[in-house]
Amino acid sequence: MTEPFDAVDLIVRKRDGGALETDQIAWLVDAFTRGAVADEQMSAWAMAVLLRGMDRREIRDLTLAMIDSGERMSFAGLGRPTVDKHSTGGVGDKITLPLAPLVASFGVAVPQLSGRGLGHTGGTLDKLEAIPGWRADLTPDAMRDQLREIGAVICAAGAGLAPADKRLYALRDITGTVESIPLIASSIMSKKIAEGTGALLLDVKFGSGAFMQRFEQAEELARTMVDLGTDAGVMTVALLTGMSVPLGLAVGNAVEVTESVEVLAGGGPSDVVELTVAIAREMLALAGLPDADPEAALADGRAMDTWRRMIAAQGGDPDAPLPAPAETEVVRAAADGVLVGVEAKAVGVASWRLGAGRARQGEPVQAAAGILLHAKPGDTVRAGQVLATLQTDEAARIPRALAALQGAHRMAPPGTAYTPEPLIAARIPAV
Ligand code: URA
């Protein structure tokens, strides 16, 4: 087959700061998916994009080309509005678990195509697989049936959705080209648009435990994704939320399921409840229900009923005890004082080293691995008080997890005033 373009020309054009035309981007992605553009050429182009950026039209073209590399799903005909949520990932971010059944309890369909964890941020599917019997893999028909009958589904994305993104992401992961706003935005939004949701709420995180450390970077990423959603006809709103401190008190797999169930039972840590309710309100407004009251659905058990049905529909036993760890270890405060920081990234890395996450795609994770925090910033603590409990099935993992936690708990002298940062820093409305 005679190719209309030469990959080297397109790499050089981007390397020198130029913009690629729509047909050039479409060809590049298609040829890469067919194997006509080599991995090293695509990697070089990704590096050129990371260094030179892309304009709004190029980002839209790249997103559309990645969507066109695979199948598009459709949730038309369900008889319910569909709203999805995507988080850019953080430590202790279990919000999807209580959120999907909460929003679905108002008659909205919430199709959560989720992933497994890689690196220090956990994966939603890994967490739910701690529930005995629960299955992540559903056929498209089973997913539609569950959405029609229950409204909430959390399952693995099929391989047919934006396969070009899957291949490009694997290259970016090993070539230092993940941290590019055009590449992250097109990667996330190609999958969300291909999935066929009617509306989308983005939780874009910033801080030490997030992809984007600085607020300004997260804001640019959020605006880029809101623009992409809007251009594709998906009503998209973004919240910018802090990720310097882990969300809630549980980080890991089974421990995060337990905390999510506490939220569904009307309790749970205040930051997890605040974010779950705020995101649910945004999603319900996007679904045409601006006056719905998510707090009431947590308090009166409606959200819990939907959770139980959602888990059972995917083979899980919502009443089964969750796996317990074989080994535990505690971290204690060295002195009296006020806890003023708990480094999210350090806690995420420690939980990962305990076995809650994986270093390579496909590795198994430990359901019982993770960390329970017993104090949050603002708490006054005494010398010797337990700050955290580490959980794992393998004692040999504990020393490296403890090393990751060195310095993660930042203390100030007794009586120091502590003012928390707002959890939700900004909202970027649909344009
Ligand atoms: N998540 C994605 O799906 N893609 C990225 O590029 C980064 C995070």
CA of 184 to the centre of ligand 1 (A): 5
191 classed as catalytic: yes
Question: Could you read off the pLDDT of 293-351 as tens digits, one per residue?
Answer: 999 999 999 999 999 999 999 999 999 999 999 999 999 999 999 999 999 999 999 99
| CA gap 127, 347 in Å, rounded | 16
Is 406 part of a structural domain of the chain? yes
| DSSP state at residue 422 | P
Ligand 1: residue whose CA is nearest its atom 7: 184
Domain end call among 297, 319, 341? 319
| CA gap 245, 378 in Å, rounded | 12
Q: Ligand 1 test: best mutation among 62, 161, 178, 204, most atoms within 8 Å of CB?
A: 178
CA of 186 to the centre of ligand 1 (A): 8
Strand boundaries in 89-198, DSSP class E: 110-114, 152-156
Ligand 1: residue whose CA is nearest its atom 2: 188
pLDDT at position 301, please?
97
CATH number at residue 382: 3.90.1170.30
| DSSP state at residue 364 | -
| CA gap 299, 273 in Å, rounded | 11
Domain end call among 282, 297, 319? 319
Domain end call among 296, 319, 342? 319
Ligand 1: residue whose CA is nearest its atom 1: 188
Question: Could you read off the pLDDT of 126-159 as tens digits, one per residue?
Answer: 999 999 999 999 998 999 999 999 999 999 988 8
What are the b/e assignments for 100-109, b being 16+ CB within 10 Å? bbbbbbbebb
Residues 242 and 101 in one domain: yes
Residues 229 and 288 in one domain: yes
Number of domains within the chain: 2
Residues 88 and 130 in one domain: yes
Residues 348 and 385 in one domain: yes
Assess contact for 343 and 208: CB atoms under 8 A.
yes
Q: Which pair of tokens denotes residue 315?
A: 């083979």
Q: Which pair of tokens denotes residue 63?
A: 């997103």
Q: Ligand 1 test: best mutation among 85, 113, 169, most atoms within 8 Å of CB?
A: 169
Is 63 part of a structural domain of the chain? no
| CA gap 40, 47 in Å, rounded | 10
| CA gap 276, 278 in Å, rounded | 6
In this prediction, residues 12-33 reach a mean pLDDT of 98
Residues 261 and 144 in one domain: yes
| CA gap 59, 420 in Å, rounded | 36
Residue 117 clears pLDDT 90, i.e. is over it: no
Task: Find the range with the poorest average confidence among 40-49, 106-115, 202-211, 356-365.
Answer: 356-365
Q: Give residue 1's pLDDT band: very low, low, confident or very high (50, 70, 90).
A: confident
| CA gap 58, 204 in Å, rounded | 22
Residue 87 clears pLDDT 90, i.e. is over it: yes
Is 177 part of a structural domain of the chain? no
Helices within 246-395 (DSSP H only): 254-264, 270-286, 294-299, 302-313, 344-351
Residues 356 and 230 in one domain: no
Q: Evaluate: CB of 224 within 6 angstroms of ligand 1.
A: no
Residue 95's closest CA among 288, 299, 291, 239? 239
Q: Evaluate: CB of 184 within 6 angstroms of ligand 1.
A: yes
Lookup result for tokens 């939320």: 241
Is 356 part of a structural domain of the chain? yes
| CA gap 307, 128 in Å, rounded | 12
Residue 122 clears pLDDT 80, i.e. is over it: no
Residue 30 clears pLDDT 80, i.e. is over it: yes
Residues 265 and 363 in one domain: no
Residue 393 clears pLDDT 90, i.e. is over it: yes
Is 358 part of a structural domain of the chain? yes
CA of 167 to the centre of ligand 1 (A): 12
Q: Give residue 40's pLDDT band: very low, low, confident or very high (50, 70, 90).
A: very high
86 classed as catalytic: yes
Residues 347 and 314 in one domain: no
Q: Which of 14, 80, 85, 86 is catalytic?
A: 86
Indicate the pTM of the whole model.
0.95
| CA gap 136, 125 in Å, rounded | 6
Residue 379 clears pLDDT 70, i.e. is over it: yes
pLDDT at position 52, please?
98
Instruction: Assign 3-class secondary structure to 219-263.
Output: HHHHHHHHHHHHHCCCEEEEEEEECCCCCCCEEECHHHHHHHHHH
Residue 41 clears pLDDT 90, i.e. is over it: yes
Is 15 part of a structural domain of the chain? no
Question: Could you read off the pLDDT of 236-277 as tens digits, one per residue?
Answer: 999 999 999 999 999 999 999 999 999 999 999 999 999 999
The number of the ligand 1 atom at minimal distance from the alpha carbon of 188 is 3
Q: Give residue 431's pLDDT band: very low, low, confident or very high (50, 70, 90).
A: confident
Residue 421's closest CA among 352, 335, 344? 344
Residues 292 and 220 in one domain: yes
| CA gap 232, 81 in Å, rounded | 17
pLDDT at position 430, please?
86
Question: Could you read off the pLDDT of 159-211 as tens digits, one per residue?
Answer: 889 999 999 988 998 899 988 999 999 999 999 999 999 999 999 999 999 98
Q: What 3-state class would DSSP assign to 305?
A: helix
Residues 337 and 311 in one domain: no
Residues 226 and 306 in one domain: yes
The number of the ligand 1 atom at minimal distance from the alpha carbon of 184 is 6
Residues 293 and 391 in one domain: no
Q: Which pair of tokens denotes residue 65?
A: 């080309």
Is 423 part of a structural domain of the chain? no
Q: Which of 87, 180, 187, 244 is catalytic?
A: 187
In this prediction, residues 375-389 reach a mean pLDDT of 98
Question: Could you read off the pLDDT of 398-426 as tens digits, one per residue?
Answer: 999 999 999 999 999 999 999 999 999 99
Q: Evaluate: CB of 187 within 6 angstroms of ligand 1.
A: yes
CA of 30 to the centre of ligand 1 (A): 20
Q: Evaluate: CB of 169 within 6 angstroms of ligand 1.
A: yes
pLDDT at position 174, please?
86
Assess contact for 219 and 244: CB atoms under 8 A.
no
Is 346 part of a structural domain of the chain? yes
pLDDT at position 118, please?
62
Supply the range of the domain harboring residue 274. Answer: 83-159+197-319
In this prediction, residues 362-389 reach a mean pLDDT of 96
Q: How much is the CA Rg of the chain, to the nearest whole Å?
A: 22
Strand boundaries in 253-314, DSSP class E: none
Ligand 1: residue whose CA is nearest its atom 6: 184
CATH number at residue 112: 3.40.1030.10
pLDDT at position 8, please?
98
